[in-house]
């Protein structure tokens, strides 16, 4: 049984942090891109060590593009008032491979359950707006084999046609040009290559990768 094709997904553009203040309490949201749960837990441990003197370091993360794994922690805040609203922000925006820790320095004013939910969720939302998002789109990797005489011309044609050339390797027997092509466009690419090269170049599959495209809410 064939596996379903990978789908695009959203993640943060870069690691970062952002602070908001709510009734004299400081909420510092830390964000990091992570590839698995272990990396998320290591980031959380690092933030807690650095901000050991804070009243709370509440956490949430989502990892995995297809089969997502989620965790959250209120770290001493009333149940459901910190980690869950933080996680809900990630879910609502469709973000994965991301961990967030919100460090709270208590300002002396009690916020109540509703106020805490708004503060922790708002801290994550504001930090996401600050660092920005990217869409990671799956692309098929192809290696095009061509002789030395045609390689330069073909590489120029590939770039002019808008194909993402990743590298060119010159070897004794010819040149291998590696490029990424969105999977739905692979059949059309083979037709284009045959026509452009007069049948002198052949493309073979070489796996999958992702390209990142800046993303903003529609």
Q: Where are the domains of the chain?
A: 9-131, 137-215
φ/ψ (deg, to 5) at 193: -65, -45
Residue 3 banded pLDDT, cuts 50, 70, 90: low
Mean pLDDT of the chain: 92
List pLDDT tens digits, range 154-174.
Answer: 999 999 998 888 899 988 888
Instruction: Tell whether the torsion through CA atoms of 202, 143, 157 and 146 is positive or negative.
Output: negative
CA angle 27, 32, 33 (to 5 degrees): 150
Q: What is the percentage of the chain residues whose pLDDT exceeds 90?
A: 71
Confidence check: pLDDT of 100 > 80: yes
- Given this model, what pLDDT does residue 8 score? 86
- Give, as one character, the DSSP assignment of residue 43: H
Residue 4 banded pLDDT, cuts 50, 70, 90: low
Comparing CA positions, the residue from 51, 49, 55, 57 lying closest to residue 100 is 57
Question: Is there a common fold for 9-131 and 137-215?
Answer: no
List pLDDT tens digits, range 116-128.
Answer: 999 999 999 999 9
- Given this model, what pLDDT does residue 1 score? 41
* Structure token pair of residue 35: 């590839």
Instruction: Assess if CATH 3.30.420.40 describes domain 137-215.
Output: no
* Structure token pair of residue 172: 């004794």
Give dist(CA 203, CA 146) in Å, integer: 9
The helix, strand and coil proportions of the chain, stated in percent and rounded to the nearest 5, come to 35, 40, 25
CATH topology for 9-131? Ribosomal Protein S5; domain 2 (3.30.230)
């Amino acid at each position: 049984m064939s596996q379903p094709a990978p789908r695009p997904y959203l993640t943060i553009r870069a690691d970062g942090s952002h602070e908001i203040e709510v009734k004299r309490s400081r909420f510092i949201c830390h964000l990091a891109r992570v590839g698995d749960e272990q990396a998320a837990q290591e980031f959380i441990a690092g933030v807690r060590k650095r901000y050991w003197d804070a009243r709370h370091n509440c956490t949430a993360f989502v990892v995995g593009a297809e089969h997502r794994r989620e965790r959250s922690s209120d770290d001493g805040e009333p149940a459901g008032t910190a980690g869950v609203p933080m996680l809900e922000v990630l879910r609502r925006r469709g973000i994965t491979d991301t961990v967030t820790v919100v460090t709270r320095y208590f300002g002396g004013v009690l916020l109540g359950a509703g106020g805490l939910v708004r503060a922790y969720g708002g801290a994550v939302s504001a930090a996401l707006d600050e660092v920005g998002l990217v869409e990671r789109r799956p692309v098929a990797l192809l290696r095009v084999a061509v002789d030395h005489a045609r390689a330069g011309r073909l590489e120029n044609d590939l770039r002019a046609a808008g194909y993402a050339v990743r590298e060119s390797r010159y070897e004794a027997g010819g040149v291998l040009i590696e490029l990424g092509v969105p999977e739905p466009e692979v059949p059309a690419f083979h037709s284009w290559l045959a026509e452009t090269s007069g049948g002198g170049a052949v493309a073979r599959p070489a796996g999958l990768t992702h390209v990142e495209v800046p993303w903003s809410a529609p």
